Amino acid sequence: MKILRKMLLPFALLYGFVTWSRNLFYNSGILKSKSYNVPVICVGNLNTGGTGKSPMIEYLLKLLLPDFKVATLSRGYKRTSKGYKLLNGNETAAEVGDEPLQFKRKFKNALIAVDVDRQNGTVKLQQESAEIILLDDAFQHRKVKAGLNILLTAYGDLYVNDFMLPTGNLREPTLGAERAKIVVVTKCPPNLTKAEMELAKGKLKLQNYQQLYFSFIEYDEEIFSEATTAKLSSLKDKKFTLITGIANPKPLINYLEGNGLDFEHLAFKDHHNFTTTEITRLQKETLLLTTEKDYVRLRENFKDGQLFYLPVKTAFLNNEEAFKQKILSFVHKK
């Protein structure tokens, strides 16, 4: 696979030139970005794959929902529905996408919408009286001009160490990072030292106007089914099957193994749509554990107490209050 990717280097260079040119056209005003009279915050990345966008969106929802009518706008990856759709929480993941449905199930007071056309979706959410709009995975969708861009990059896979698709995993050249006012290095080891932070900072070479933060994934102490809750530690004396359909399950695997749990791991591709055959096989298992994103795709096929999910959240290693104030200052200023 690595050899094949290297052979595709000419295509990567061409793709990089195309995306660089597109950004140049937007930066120079040849292509137009539309601004809106509500605060728009974009959460995205340069790399494909998991950098922790969903936990960051949820962090912002928790921060802002007590005082504002907050909306999220996602593409709704792999959904079967078309156009703009405002979720009510009764949809299936196949209809609207797993992450939007996850947001709606957890934050019932939030406006959660999907639309490939970000401009149309933004206008529709304004008509729903949204006071703040969070753009999920929209760093490259420049038709909507976000007032604040938050760029995420995983600690073990910094964008500066990557290359353009298809040779590497970059969606655009690293120069694109300069659009972000906030950069968060995600999925750090919880015991990351200040020296290691400084080393990462040196590699990123941020601009003076950019603020850098470090975060890690914090796992819940409890696991959840539809109507049943249990301590994660209760799995220590049980064998179970872990199901993942996410970009990078390694941190979760390491965490569970670090807690002394004994399990079989069934790995699927990110946003995997489970087939009838796969569901039938999994229904034969006594105890299943999965991620929250996978749970919204699987939950209807299992009885309560058979399939559980382990929630995660973004936790900061440094300057969390400064991060919060940066977000709130932008919202109030707008």
119 and 262 both lie in a single domain: no
Does pLDDT of 1 surpass 70?
no
Tokens of 10: 């000419």
Q: Given the DSSP bridges, would you call strands 85-86 and 111-114 parallel, antiparallel or unpaired?
A: antiparallel
13-49: per-residue pLDDT in tens?
999 999 999 999 999 999 999 999 999 999 999 998 7
How far apart are the C-alpha atoms of 44 and 12, rounded to whole Å? 21
Residue 222 falls in which region: left (phi positive, over 0), alpha (psi -120 to 50) or beta: beta
Q: How many domains does the chain have?
A: 2
Name every residue whose Cβ is closer than 8 Å to that of residue 164 and which is 6 or more positions away in sequence.
12, 13, 15, 16, 19, 170, 172, 173
Tell me, yes or no, whether 287 and 241 share the same domain. Answer: yes
On whether the CB atoms of residues 87 and 100 are closer than 8 A, the answer is yes
**139 and 170 share a domain?**
yes
Q: Is the pLDDT of residue 292 over 80?
A: yes
Identify the CA nearest to 140 among candidates 210, 37, 29, 42: 42
Per residue in 40-61, pLDDT (tens digit) is 999 999 998 789 999 999 999 9
Tens digit of each residue's pLDDT (9 = 90 or more) over 250-290 = 999 999 999 999 999 999 999 898 999 999 999 999 999 99
Measured CA to CA, the distance from residue 163 to residue 174 in angstroms comes to 9
* Percentage of the chain lying above the pLDDT 70 cut: 99
Average pLDDT along the chain: 95
**Segment 69-79, tens digit of pLDDT:** 999 999 999 89
Tell me the pairing of strands 262-267 and 239-244.
parallel
Instruction: Identify the burial level of 131 via C-beta atoms within 10 angstroms of its C-beta, where 0-12 means exposed, 13-18 middle and 19 or more buried.
Output: middle
- Whether 4 shows a pLDDT value over 90: the answer reads no
Instruction: Tell me the per-residue pLDDT of 207-253, one tens digit each, with 9 for 90 and over.
Output: 999 999 999 999 999 999 999 999 999 999 899 999 999 988 999 99
Q: Does the pLDDT at position 161 exceed 80?
A: yes
At residue 308, the 3 state secondary structure works out as strand
Shared domain check, 231 and 194:
no
Length of the chain: 334
Query: Three-state SS for 278?
Result: helix
157 and 56 housed in the same domain: yes
**In contact, 106 and 89? CB cutoff 8 Å:** no
User: What CATH number is given to the structural domain containing 325?
Assistant: 3.40.50.300
| H-type alpha helices, 184-306 | 194-204, 250-258, 276-283, 292-298
Pair 33, 130 in one domain: yes
Q: Are 228 and 323 part of one and the same domain? A: no
Q: What is the pLDDT of residue 241?
A: 97
Domain of residue 306 covers: 221-310
Tens digit of pLDDT for each residue in 136-146? 999 999 999 99
pLDDT of the residue at 247: 87
Task: Assign 106 a pLDDT band (cuts: 50, 70, 90).
Answer: very high
Instruction: Say if residue 192 is in the same domain as residue 268.
Output: no
Q: Are residues 252 and 124 part of one domain?
A: no
Q: How far apart are CA 154 and CA 185, in angstroms?
A: 6
Phi-psi region of 271 (alpha: psi -120 to 50; beta: other; left: phi over 0): left
How much is the pLDDT for 9? Answer: 87
**Shared domain check, 51 and 145:** yes
pLDDT reading at 179 higher than 60? yes
- Select from 148, 120, 123 the least CA-distant residue to 134: 148
Specify whether 128 is located in the same domain as 25: yes
Residue 153 shares a structural domain with residue 44: yes
Q: What is the CATH number of the domain that holds 252?
A: 3.40.50
